[in-house]
Amino acid sequence: MTHELVSATLPVWSIIPFAGMLLSIAIVPLVRPEWWEKHMLGAAFAWSLLFLIPFAAAYGVGESWFRLLESVLLDYIPFIVLLFGLFVVAGGIAVRGTLAGTTKINCLLLFIGTFLASWIGTTGAAMLMIRPLIRANAWR
């Protein structure tokens, strides 16, 4: 089976582990924070296996290894490198001021962040704007 055919025929059930992982990341730390701190890697591994095992059964072990390596080498590692680069660059940028964390100031900072996100990307804008936002709301 060719790799393109797998992409075109991927069944709907394959989104269930992804949705489960997103829901786990969003809900479990709020409900059971102590458990999540100790078991988050195991939960991610379990959700991954919940996708990989049926995928390997349906499309073969070779195809599943190919897809796993493809996603790690072509998606995950470049994203981590991008985050590292943004962290290094944004770490040297210091936006200073005497802003008080009022509702109006927070909305203004979010508006500026929204504008910056369309210009330098969401991750870059978040890394640039997080320090001023935290500093403005330190009194809380």
| Contact present, 97 and 132 (Cβ < 8 Å) | yes
Digit-coded pLDDT (tens) for 94-121: 666 777 778 888 888 889 889 999 988 8
Helix (H) or strand (E) run with residue 134 in it: helix 122-136
pLDDT of residue 131: 80
| pTM reported for the whole predicted model | 0.64
Q: Which of 19, 124, 125, 136 is nearest to 82 (CA)?
A: 124
The DSSP secondary-structure symbol of 15 reads G
Question: What is the dihedral angle through the alpha carbons of 19, 21, 27, 30, rounded to the nearest 10 degrees?
Answer: -170
Assign 139 to helix, strand or coil: coil
Higher pLDDT, 139 or 120: 120
Over residues 25-47, the pLDDT tens digits come to 999 999 999 999 999 999 999 99
> How distant, in Å, are the alpha carbons of 59, 74, 78, 120 from that of 128?
43, 26, 20, 10
